[in-house]
Structure 1
Amino acid sequence: MTRFAWLPHPGLSLLLTGVWLLLTNQLSLGHLLLGLFLGWVIPLLLRRYLIFVPRVRKPLKLCLFLLKVFWDIVVANLHVARLVLGPKERLNPAFVEVPMVIEDEFLLATLACIISLTPGTVSAGLTPDRKTLLLHALDAPDIKALVAELKHRYEAPLLEIFECSPT
């Protein structure tokens, strides 16, 4: 993929321009030019701090994956509500170490966010070698099953959807 030094993130530049136009709620030449300027200069100034986003290999699978994540969030909310409102003896909290196949920092961050967005689990850390993700689960009666489910439901699809190489 060819990148221009003067336009480090063209997609982000267009997104920022669009957000500017939506925030101002006026479509005029002045606001369009200011939006284009902001869309150009903000990524240019922040390029050292932005991580590379791998190319989406399968966009339809990405859409289906997002629907699955939203569904999992709804189901997990109901499960956590039932656990919290029930007797404390039903809770099986645990810290769980999940071995990672993903090496890409964007996908690792995405996976950690998905885990944290799903009620009942929160990502607590990543080892310095990026090989193990530590997470806390509110209810983990079977740790091996939880690890297998996370790898099957989230890690494997991310590797399939995005162009990146696993270990």
Structure 2
Amino acid sequence: MTRWLPFPLLTAALLGVWLILNESVSPGTVILGCALSVGAVRVLTALDPPEGRFRRPLVALTLALVVLGDIVRSNMAVARIILNPAAGNRTPGFVRIPLDLRAPYGLATLACIITATPGTIWVEYESAGNSVLLHILDLVDDQVWIDTIKDRYEKRLMEVFE
């Protein structure tokens, strides 16, 4: 079964999304959705994705809640900066953060978290030094950002993916 259908949960999820988007469970829609989802997963296996292990779902849930809270808080801070530019001197800047995280899916998740948070952008990943360069809209202290990324996100991602 694994050779014919290597990622059954992904196949089922794709089929579910197909049915939701089409707002129909007619036989034709289900058959076409099955064919497309199986085909998409077969194409994915041709790309030879790296092995990944997802452990500790409670830590992942905690991380999701932390990220959600950070995104809301960051949205409000960016809104304040945009709506009241004369409130203070804002200094955008770059900060390089050394990482201990090496799992590819963990790094991809960290990139999504940082990019989804308003006011921060993932600029570069240096694999030789295992560090990431971030652009921060309001950079006050480099060490605060290094501690935030390492303590709030990286530790939890390492628990989940390594």
Do they fold alike, i.e. is TM over 0.5?
yes
Compare relative contact order (CA 8 Å, sep 6+) and give the higher one, 1 or 2: 2
Amino acid at match of 1:108: L
Q: Provide the residue aligned with 1:8 in structure 2.
A: 6
CA contact (8 A) 1:61 1:161 kept: yes
Label 1:40 to 1:93 Cα distance change in 2 as closer, same or farther (>3 A): same
Task: In structure 1, list runs of 5 or more residues that go unmatched.
Answer: none
Aligned to 1:104: 103
**1:120: how far off?**
1.1
Aligned residues: 161
Q: Percent identity?
A: 37
TM-score by length of 2: 0.88
In structure 2, list runs of 5 or more residues that go unmatched: none
- CA offset at residue 88 of structure 1? 7.3
User: Displacement of 1:130 after TM fit?
Assistant: 6.2
**Partner residue of 1:62?**
60
The CA RMSD over aligned residues, in Å, is: 2.0
- The aligned residue for residue 36 of structure 1 is 34
- Structure-2 change in CA distance of 1:91 and 1:48 (3 Å): farther
Structure 1 partner of 2:157? 158
Letter in 2 for 1:152: D
User: Which residue of structure 1 lines up, in the alignment, with residue 78 of structure 2?
Assistant: 80
**CA shift for structure 1 position 89:** 4.8
Give the whole-Å Cα distance in 1 for the aligned partners of 2:18 and 2:51. 22
CA contact (8 A) 1:51 1:106 kept: no
8 Å contact 1:124–1:136 — kept in the other structure?
A: yes
- TM-score (structure 1 length as normaliser): 0.86
Checking the alignment, whether the CA contact within 8 Å between 1:13 and 1:43 is kept in structure 2 is yes
